[in-house]
Every structure is written in C-alpha cells, then in structure tokens.
C-alpha cells in the first residue's frame, strides 16, 4: 500500500492535480484579498479620506504619462484591422460600411481593451512594484505604526485616479484610432474620407459612448486596485517584488477580459 501511494505521488497526474490545487488556493486567496481591499477603499472614499494633492499626482501618472504608449497601441491596432478589412470590403461592395465597422469596433472594444492592456503594462506594473518595495522595506509598517490607515493613504488616490483618468485616455485613444482607420482605409482601399466618416456617424450611438466610458472607468479602477493589492501583500525581498508585479499584470489582464465579457453580455447581448 505504501509503495502504491509513493508511486502515485511521483506520477505526473498527481503532480498536475497538486499544482492545480495550489493554483486554485492562490486564486481564491488573491481574490479574497482584492475584494477586501476594494471594500476598504470604498469605505475610505465615502469617509472623505482623499488627499487632493496626491490624487492630482496620480491622475497625471495615469493620464499624461500613459498617453504615448496607449495611443501607439490603439493606433497600430486600428492600422492592422483597417488594412485587412478595408480592401476586402471595398472589393465586395461594402465600402460604405467600413467607417461604421471600424468605429463600432474601436469605440466598443478596441479603445478600452487596448488602453487597459497598455495601462496595465505601464502603470499597473509600476504601482505593484512601488507598493511591493514599500512593503519589503517596511515603509508600509511604518505608516501603520504612525496610526495612519495605510490602505486609505496608499490605495484611495491611486484607485480614484484610475477611475477618473482612464475614460479620458480611452476617449482620446478611440478618436485617434478612428482617424487612423480613415487614413489607412484611404491608403489601402482608396476609400474617401467623406464616405468613411458618413458611415462612422451612422454607426455611432450615445449608448456606445456611455458603455465605453463606464467600462473604461471600471477597467481603470480594477487595474489600480489589483496592482496595489498585489504589491501591498508582497513578501520575500527583491524576489517578492518581482512576483507581486507579475501577479498584478496577470490578474489585471484577466480582470479586463472578464469585465469586458460582463459588459458585453449586459449591454449588447
């Protein structure tokens, strides 16, 4: 019996299921910590624990600093999609629908999702490494010793800045994406700007803009909350900082996809 048990523990199947159990436990543990931190952040906001100066600094970080990479990613995505779609649609007699298709795609999905990925890569990883470094160097412990609520002190301005600034970033990125799509359609398929924008205006509704803004605000708050939470619970020195940053990026990507699916089901299904 002991030999059989030892053999099973050495088998690949046992190792796979063991690893799955560890991953599931880590998933539940991380989800619980993020949820708890979210509730504490809401409590801090409702109780007025907002530092205006720090909020402005974080808004500048989320907004202005992230614009170059966000515009680059959304613009290049628009070029890729338009270059493959425009010529084929014109050839099939659907040139008058290119602007409508590109605008719907960018405003509903591409602008918010690609901006979320860009902000996660640049800002989310930065927030996670920043708080993780503060944790392993005991700066957060010092804040707690001084009698200051470290969650409200560190989380509230960052989460609020993500909630406030990401819709603005997405609006600018979506506008650039639509313009780049028009230029690309003209270069690759010879579609006139007038035909593109006439079609774009027919396919743009206030509902799309409202959902885009709400979705992007939710993305921004989720990225900041997840990144700060992963950094806040870091441990183990320099290695822990790297692991916390990696976890923050992975969880932020997953949350963006899940939240986008939820919004699609609620508003467009």
Give tens-digit pLDDT for 8-28: 666 666 677 777 777 777 778
* Alpha helices by DSSP H, 12-149: 12-46, 52-62, 67-91, 98-105, 111-119, 125-136, 139-145
**How far, in Å, CA of 121 to CA of 246, rounded?**
10
**Per-residue pLDDT averaged across 213-217, rounded?**
94
pLDDT band at 195 (very low <50, low <70, confident <90, very high): confident
pLDDT at 4: 58
By the 8 A CB rule, do 73 and 117 touch? yes
Q: Is the pLDDT of residue 144 over 80?
A: yes
Give residue-wise pLDDT tens across range 71-85.
Answer: 999 999 999 988 888
Between 192 and 232, the higher pLDDT residue:
232
User: What's the whole-number mean pLDDT along residues 47-69?
Assistant: 87
Most confident of 1-15, 57-71, 251-265: 251-265
Q: What is the residue-averaged pLDDT of the chain?
A: 87
Note whether 221 and 159 are within 8 A (CB): yes
Give me the DSSP letters along 170-219: HHHHHHHHHHHHHHHHHHHH---HHHHHHHHHHT--HHHHHHHHHHHHHH
- The mean-pLDDT minimum among 30-34, 74-78, 117-121, 208-212 falls in 30-34
Mean pLDDT of 165-173: 93
Distance CA(171)–CA(227), nearest Å, equals: 23
| 3-state secondary structure (DSSP) of residue 145 | helix
pLDDT of residue 10: 66
Which pLDDT score, from 0 to 100, does residue 6 have?
Answer: 65
pLDDT at position 230: 92
The residue assigned the tokens 């359609």 is 185
Q: Which helix (H) or strand (E) holds 232?
A: helix 206-232
> By C-alpha distance, which of 61, 18, 82 is closest to 90?
82
The dihedrals phi and psi of 107, each to the nearest 5 degrees, come to -70, -40
Cβ 160 vs Cβ 49: under 8 Å: no
Residue 101 pLDDT greater than 90, yes or no? no
Q: Single out the residue of 261, 258, 233, 216 nearest to residue 36, CA to CA.
A: 233
User: Does 64 have pLDDT greater than 60?
Assistant: yes
Helix (H) or strand (E) holding 268: helix 237-268
Give the per-residue pLDDT at 186.
86
- pLDDT at residue 93 is higher than 80: no
CB atoms within 10 A of CB 105: 20
Give the side-chain half-sphere CA count within 13 A for 68.
3
Is 158 within 8 Å of 222 (Cβ atoms)?
A: no
Query: What's this model's pTM, rounded to 2 decimal places?
Result: 0.88
Residue position matching structure tokens 């931190």: 37
DSSP state of 236: S
CA distance 153 to 54: 9
The Cα–Cα gap between 132 and 126 comes to 10
With 90 as the cut, is the pLDDT of residue 171 above it? yes
């Amino acid at each position: 019996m002991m030999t059989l048990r030892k053999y099973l523990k050495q088998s690949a199947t046992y190792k796979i299921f063991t690893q799955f159990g560890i991953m599931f436990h880590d998933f539940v543990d991380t989800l619980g910590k993020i949820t708890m931190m979210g509730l504490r952040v809401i409590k801090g906001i409702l109780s007025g624990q907002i530092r205006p100066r720090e909020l402005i600094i974080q808004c500048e970080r989320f907004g202005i600093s992230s614009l170059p990479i966000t515009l680059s990613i959304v613009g290049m995505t628009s070029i890729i999609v338009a270059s493959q779609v425009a010529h084929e649609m014109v050839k099939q007699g659907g040139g008058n629908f290119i602007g409508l298709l590109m605008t719907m795609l960018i405003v509903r999905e591409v602008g918010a999702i690609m901006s979320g990925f860009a902000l996660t890569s640049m800002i989310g990883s930065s927030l996670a490494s920043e708080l993780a470094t503060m944790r392993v160097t005991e700066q957060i412990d010092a804040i707690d010793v001084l009698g200051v609520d470290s969650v409200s002190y560190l989380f509230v301005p960052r989460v609020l800045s993500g909630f406030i600034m990401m819709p603005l970033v997405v609006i600018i990125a979506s506008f650039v994406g639509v313009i780049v799509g028009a230029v690309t359609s003209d270069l690759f398929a010879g579609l006139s700007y007038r035909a593109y924008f006439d079609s774009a205006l027919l396919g743009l509704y206030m509902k799309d803009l409202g959902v885009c803004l709400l979705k992007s605000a939710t993305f921004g708050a989720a990225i900041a909350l997840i990144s700060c939470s992963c950094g806040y619970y870091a441990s183990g020195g320099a290695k822990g900082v790297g692991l916390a940053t990696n976890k923050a990026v992975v969880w932020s990507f997953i949350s963006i996809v899940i939240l986008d699916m939820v919004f699609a089901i609620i508003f467009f299904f």
